[in-house]
Chain A
Amino acid sequence: MDSDTLYFALELIAGSGQTLNVEQRTALQTSLLLLRKDYKFQRVLFWGKVFGLKQDYFITQGRGEDEMEDIKYFYSFNCIDWFLLPTVTDTMVQEVSTAAKGRFMGDPSHVYEHVEAGQDGKEVTKVSEESRLAVAVLQIDEEASVVPRGAFVKNPHGLIQINRSFGGLSYSEASKFDNFLHFSKPKNLKKKSILEMADLNPTIDFLDVLSDDIPNGCWSLQFECASRVCILRSLLWLGLTFYHVPMTPQHGYIYIGHGAKNLDLPFMQ
């Protein structure tokens, strides 16, 4: 959610039950501006909040020239002091998936240990909570970030930028999952048949569509705030809320939750 539109956007996603209090909002206003200046970002987005047992993490995302490539994540406890999250590697993902269980502690230096009796003896995998947080944030962005179709364009150089002439989806378009895309490297795009690709426009359809998500039915689409705002909630990552006001270019998503994937989804549908 763009820091410039944070004021009213928080009201729109408040239907999920979580919001930020006034003190946090004012702190974000100043600190995000300073962050943008220091790191020379084009835009700074407030990504969301991950609950921990002792303390909560506030996460922001800074974007550079290319909206998808130049991304950095920061975390903070008081919305004033921001610390850079480490970049995620494949080995880090492996370690986190074996070692880290349960809820986030709220202490970034907490170390999760996992002892496995291997052939050579005990193998101990240790992961710090900071890495676990970085991996969780990245996974959520890859699997559950949402943008409306047409909001971003790919220019001829391959850079992904905001489409300044995006007027918003209409009410009927906003009620279909085909018009919402994941904002991450596409995985399903190449598997489409040529017949399907013929209908797509390569400048705006370069991302995965929400309707291709597995498992089926992992998104809940509703119109809230007196049916004026289209709200998409992820059932796989409980706490991710996407909002879009039809016929306006306002859209954004935020994650406020425990940072854990809902693996019980097939039982719950």
Chain B
Amino acid sequence: MEQPDRCQANMDPSVEAACLKSFMMQSSTDSNMNLTDESCSGFTPDPSSTLEVPLYRGDCHIVLLSWEERGLETIRGHERGHTNDKLADAPNASQKAFHTWEENCGPLYDHFTQVLLKVIDERPHNAVDVIEDISRDLKQALSEDQQSTLRDSSQASAVELLAQQHRLLFNRPKEADQEEEEAETAFPNVSEIGFYLEQAGVGLGREEMQRIFLSLKQLVESQSLLRCRLWGKILGTESNYIVAEADHQEGEEEEEEEENAEEEEKEIESPQNDSEVDPLPQSTYKPQPVVPKELKGTGANKYLYYVCKEPGLPWVKLPSVTPTQIAVARQICKFVTGRLDAPVVSFPPFPGNESNYLRAQIARISAGTQVSPRGFFLAGEEESEEEDEAPRDSYEVNPDFEGVPVAEMAESLSTWVHHVQHILPQGRCTWVNMAVKQGENSDEEMEAEEDEEEPDEPEPEIGPPLLTPLSQDQEIFNTPPWSLRMSSNLTGPHAAAVLRSNLWPGAYAYACEKKFENIYIGWGVKYTGGGYSPSVPPLPQNEYPSGPEITEDVDPSPEEEQELKESLEEPHNSQEDADEDEDEDEDEDEDDD
């Protein structure tokens, strides 16, 4: 008798009952069934239990063994049907209770039987190697494909919105081609600058440069600028700025005059309110007179600057810079955040928000690092006679400029010159004597004081004149201010000379034959030499003028008081004696009377 393989399965109770019934009937009629005790030797019938013993299963023959409560009817059965080699691998029946087994491992039993059926059908060569794959495939087949019930999100992501903006960059204006020729003179050759900058190891990547130049073209067309140039990029903590430099246009001076008139009106209104109330003690603090800012088109305000965050987004014009802003910007060191209206929190307090700070940094960087090959620009001829009095502030392109050989440019700094005016410590490019009081009312009062101030008149601040060579730049913090090299050592005369600033990390200039360009790509921060310390706050001011009536004196000690008393009493005593004598005489006289 073959050893029965005991498999277990769970079936519907109704089916179980039907099978049981049929088998009972079968077994009772068929006495030829070979039932051996061996097959049921494993059983120890427990009449008190309600357990049903495990179910046999093999090749579609279901044999049910069950104990019934009522009696000791034992139905023995054995497996009929041929065993298979594969079925020998089927798991053996456990001795646990059928119910709990059904809950725990019923599905597992189903899965295993499915796997084994598949193995039997397909008969793979290395069943043990692929058994896990078969198991996984069966499980995957059970799970149905669920169609995604998510709808398309109607909001365009930030990337897609930006891409739409960029799409506009590529729009060609429908106007005549003639206008293109005029527009080309407004800004220089796009791809050439990008190529040379890449040779120098500086740049924003080709696609980004292309986008930037297309948006510059948009700027020129929208603002109808005469001349425009990419100044560079300032990196910020949240987002960056792309800066474009443009020439001023006429007709913008009127706006500023209106602003000044409004401020003056406000000042006049405020003193009228004070006359109604008892006059409070006036402070004697006189704020330092504000250095006036330079006019448009001169000095630090020579050019107009536009910024944008991403090429394709609209350009914003930066306000003009005032000398106080430059003076304070020199004392602080800050990153820009990327939002033009962000406050700049610092000490000394910066007069303005981030757009002003950005403009001040741009002015400082331009003044410090915009250079050109010597001879490219010539000083303006009009002011050649007045060189002693006023610094030259205009220059013209030299039509006779023949490029300096690149090897020479890469070796000595004297072949490069600054072409932007240096900013004086006052914050302007041309010095203004603040000691001269301006205003009609104060003229008469101050005349007397002016005589006193003349010997103290501040000396005019002089900066290096325009077009000074770089070899005269000072070393700061023991580092030379510039580093020069060739863009490549292998390509000889076709290479470019690259100048890198050590004071403003990120400022580069290249020159190749007759072409040159400056650019700044950096954080907008000057090299502080390994340690920046903010300026110390000023001493607290005197609250009141100190005089003898409010100064504290040390109280006299008792010895001093005694001495004073004695010194005062001596003449007093002598006088008192005289008085007492008189009094005594009078009294005596009175008594006598």
Contacts and interface: CB of A to CB of B under 8 A. Distances in A.
Given A21-B488, A103-B502, A226 B203 contact: no
A51 B527 CA distance: 14
Given A53-B502, A233-B235, A101 B530 contact: yes
B479 A103 contact: yes
Contacts of B478: 102
A14 interface: yes
Interface stretch (A84-92, A157-165, A260-268): A260-268
Contacts of B490: 23
A268 B335 CA distance: 5
Contacts of A171: 157, 159
Contact of B489 (A78, A223, A226, A258): A78
A227 interface: yes
B162 A20 contact: no
Contacts of B233: 17
Contacts of B211: 226
Contact of B198 (A19, A224, A228, A233): A19
B240 A11 contact: no
A11 B521 CA distance: 15
A26 to B, nearest CB: 10
Contacts of B198: 19, 21-22
Given A228-B159, A268-B333, A19 B477 contact: no
> Max chain B CB contacts within 10 Å: which of A18, A22, A233?
A18
Contacts of A23: 488, 490-491
Contacts of A257: 505
A59 interface: no
B505 A18 contact: no
Given A78-B489, A226-B166, A269-B335, A17 B528 contact: no
B238 A222 contact: yes
Contacts of A226: 159, 162-163, 166, 211, 310
B477 A102 contact: yes
Interface string B148-183: 000000000111001100100000000000000000
B534 interface: yes
A136 interface: no
A264 B488 contact: no
Given A102-B479, A269-B335, A14 B204 contact: yes
Contacts of B201: 18-21, 24
B53 interface: no
B524 to A, nearest CB: 10
Contacts of A18: 201-202, 521
A233 B338 CA distance: 14
A15 interface: yes
Contacts, number: 111
Interface in B4-49: none
A225 interface: yes
A87 B505 CA distance: 29
A109 interface: no
A227 B162 contact: yes
A88 to B, nearest CB: 21
A16 interface: yes
Given A20-B201, A53-B479, A268-B333, A14 B208 contact: yes
A238 interface: yes
B159 A227 contact: yes
Interface string B192-219: 0000001111111111100100000000
A23 B207 CA distance: 20
Interface in B470-513: 477-480, 483, 485, 487-491, 500, 502, 505-506
A12 to B, nearest CB: 8
Given A21-B488, A226-B166, A268 B158 contact: no
A17 B235 contact: yes
Interface residues of B, number: 55
B489 A264 contact: no
A171 B160 CA distance: 13
Nearest to B336: A268
B500 to A, nearest CB: 8
A268 B524 CA distance: 11
A224 B221 CA distance: 26
Nearest to A105: B479
Nearest to A16: B235
Contacts of B109: none
A19 B205 contact: yes
A248 interface: no
> Max chain A CB contacts within 10 Å: which of B205, B529, B530, B532?
B205
Nearest to B234: A17
B317 interface: no
A225 B207 contact: yes
A226 B210 CA distance: 12
A94 interface: no
Interface string A225-269: 111100001010010000000000000000001101001100111
Contact of B534 (A12, A103, A267): A267
Interface in A1-58: 11-12, 14-24, 51, 53-55
B480 to A, nearest CB: 6
A203 interface: no
Interface in B517-532: 521-523, 525, 528-532
Contacts of A21: 198-201, 487-488
B335 to A, nearest CB: 5
Nearest to B158: A227
B203 A17 contact: yes
B239 interface: yes
A220 interface: yes
Contacts of A263: 530-531
Contacts of B199: 21-22
> Max chain B CB contacts within 10 Å: which of A55, A217, A267?
A267
B206 A11 contact: yes
B205 A222 contact: no
B442 interface: no
> Max chain A CB contacts within 10 Å: which of B206, B335, B485?
B335
B5 to A, nearest CB: 39
Interface of B: 157-159, 162-163, 166, 198-208, 211, 233, 235-240, 310, 332-335, 477-480, 483, 485, 487-491, 500, 502, 505-506, 521-523, 525, 528-532, 534
Given A16-B521, A268-B335, 7 more contacts: A11-B205, A17-B202, A20-B201, A22-B199, A51-B483, A102-B529, A269-B335
22 contacts: A11-B205, A14-B205, A17-B235, A17-B506, A17-B522, A19-B201, A21-B200, A53-B479, A53-B502, A78-B489, A171-B157, A220-B237, A222-B239, A222-B240, A223-B159, A225-B207, A226-B163, A226-B166, A226-B211, A227-B162, A268-B334, A269-B237
Report, nearest first, the 6 A-B pairs whose CB atoms are least far apart.
A17-B521, A14-B205, A264-B532, A227-B159, A220-B237, A11-B205
